Amino acid sequence: MYTLCVRDHVMIAHSLSGEVFGRAQRLHGATYVVDLELHRKELDSDGLVVDIGRLSQTLRAVLDELDYRNLDEEPAFAGRNTTTEFLARTVFDRVAERIHAGDLGASAIGLGSMRVVLRESHVAWAAYQGDLTP
């Protein structure tokens, strides 16, 4: 299995509902390092998983929808706790939509799976991984 990973970051503000979150119930900021991995069994005709530049641009476009925003004010997240795990799945879903829309080109048809990791710090992170079959 071949893997290609690109990395970026995103800065958000949010609060989390529920006593389990302690002080994080108050509005606070978070900066996440975001790793996006694509996996495929065979390389495309150019010897790539996908074009690294296009993948980086696609990830940046998705993160721009979240960057420097208070997620408590975003209608798409109303009533949801925007935990690290939840946001990993959100990034996964939004990148997958763009892949299926053709943002990475025709060679993306051979992709098997994707993994998104959001790193809160050097000691804590969360990830979501799934198939890319439409």
Domain containing 75 equals: 2-30+47-131
CB-CB contact of 134 with 114 (8 Å) = no
Where do runs of H (alpha helix) occur along the chain? 52-64, 84-100
Stated pTM of the model: 0.96
Task: Kindly give the confidence (pLDDT) of every residue in the chain, 134 residues in length, as a single tens digit, with 9 standing for 90 and above.
Answer: 999 999 999 999 999 999 999 999 999 999 999 999 999 999 999 999 999 999 999 999 999 999 999 999 999 999 999 999 999 999 999 999 999 999 999 889 899 999 999 999 999 999 999 999 86
Note whether residue 81 is domain-resident: yes
Q: Check which CATH number belongs to the domain holding 115 and give it.
A: 3.30.479.10
Please state, in angstroms and rounded to a whole number, the distance separating the CA atoms of residues 1 and 85: 25
Note whether residue 41 is domain-resident: no
